[in-house]
Amino acid sequence: MTVEFAPVVQPDESAHAAALRRHATLVKPVASLGRLEDLGAWIAACQGQSPPRPFARPRVVVFAADHGVAALGVSAYPQEVTARRVTALLTGGGVTNALTQVAGAGLRVIDVGVDADTPVAGFKVRRGSGRIDIEDALTDEEVEAALQAGIQVADAEVDGGADLLVAGDLGVGASTPSATLVAALTGTEPVAVVGRGSGIDDAAWMRKAAAIRDALRRARPVLGDPLALLRTVGGADLAAITGFLAQAAVRRTPVLLDGLTVGAAALVAEELAPGARSWWVAAHRSPEPAYELVLKHLALQPILDLGIRLGEGAGAATALPLLTMATRLLTDVATRDW
């Protein structure tokens, strides 16, 4: 199984420096807007120009899939909820619908592994995944198909004019394989990555800890092979998001990372496309302990810390207006003559 990405070109350092110099000339005290100035300079670097262009077509793409490990009772909700949440997003009644409307972003939902029939299954790899504590999540062919789905979606969005992308996930039980991947790629013990996910009680937390322990034991023989890790302890959504994030970097398009599942995929994407992380910014700090490891490993500083643990791109959509503001500061604020 081989999936290769083109080399990742780094964002433009000269545009980054020019944006910071421009901030020093605006009608405000120097360096008085803190992180907003850094974000504006990052956007300028991604676009290769200062001042940067205001975003014309930001897009949120949510990849949905079910996970076999959910059968162990590691989530607060039954697996059928995945399909119901997909329906809510498709009919305009989901959380992310409300947030993207405010943020001025488009929303696309893609079923890559939901264990039900949906109207957005054009890239569907399989119905659900294997139970990662005792069997592989996917086959080699399914990993490649899911990666290619993410790559094709990223290409289609960029070719369609997207100038900022958000990856989101949707699936009951997704935090269990996500935490397992993070533990595997950061060399962390299972108990240190087990979070409350969908709001589980202590009994479910213990079941989840045992599942991650057993899955990590299965993952250790393939630690040096990112694609084999996706096959062994990942899922269709994790593989698709991996391809999406890596290809966005190849296409020189900035990405707002959402929560744990997207973060776990980002770790794999950085392995497959070194340097891709320069094209990403962490939208928010997830309450999941494994996400702290993602931030540290990728050297990313989150924009917001609001306790959001939903997924679906919700945290990233919430942070998106701040990126818009960071851009408009460089384009709209007058320069000073003093």
CATH code, 67: 3.40.50.10210
Number of domains in the chain: 1
Confidence at 1, pLDDT banded by 50, 70, 90:
low
337, pLDDT greater than 80: no
- Tally helices (H) and strands (E) across the chain: 12, 5
Confidence at 222, pLDDT banded by 50, 70, 90:
very high
2, pLDDT greater than 90: no
From the candidates 144, 157, 292, 312, which is the catalytic residue? Answer: 312
What is the rounded distance in angstroms from the CA atom of residue 269 to the CA atom of residue 73? 29
Confidence at 201, pLDDT banded by 50, 70, 90:
very high
Q: pLDDT tens for residues 20-44?
A: 999 999 999 999 999 999 999 999 9
Nearest Cα to 219, choosing from 196, 238, 198? 238
Residue with tokens 């119901």: 84
In the predicted model, what is the mean pLDDT of the chain? Answer: 97
Nearest Cα to 171, choosing from 317, 59, 62, 94? 62
Q: HSE-up of 213 (CA within 13 Å, CB side)?
A: 7
Residue 256 lies in a domain: yes
What is the rounded distance in angstroms from the CA atom of residue 90 to the CA atom of residue 64? 12
Residue 36 lies in a domain: no
Q: pLDDT tens for residues 93-120?
A: 999 999 999 999 999 999 999 999 999 9
Instruction: Give the CA-trace dihedral at 140, 280, 189, 289, to 10 degrees.
Output: -130
| 312 flagged as catalytic | yes
Average pLDDT over residues 258-282: 98
219, pLDDT greater than 90: yes
- Per-position b or e across 104-128, b if 16+ CB within 10 A of its CB: ebebbbbbbbbbbebebbebbbbeb
The domain of 150 spans 58-319
Q: pLDDT tens for residues 147-161?
A: 999 999 999 999 999
Residue 216 lies in a domain: yes
**What does DSSP assign to residue 303?**
S
Average pLDDT over residues 119-132: 98
Residue 150 lies in a domain: yes
Cis omega before residue 51 (within 30°)? yes
* Percent of the chain whose predicted confidence (pLDDT) is above 90: 98
Average pLDDT over residues 252-274: 98
Residue 19 lies in a domain: no
- The answer to whether 59 and 67 are in contact (CB under 8 A) is no
Nearest Cα to 231, choosing from 110, 123, 111, 130? 130
Q: Where are the alpha helices (DSSP H) in 63-200?
A: 81-90, 95-103, 140-159, 175-186
Q: pLDDT tens for residues 48-93?
A: 999 999 999 999 999 999 999 999 999 999 999 999 999 999 999 9
Residue 8 lies in a domain: no
Nearest Cα to 311, choosing from 29, 113, 134, 65? 65
* pLDDT value of residue 3: 86
* pLDDT value of residue 338: 73
Quote the tokens at residue 299. 């050297």
Residue 79 lies in a domain: yes
Residue 53 lies in a domain: no
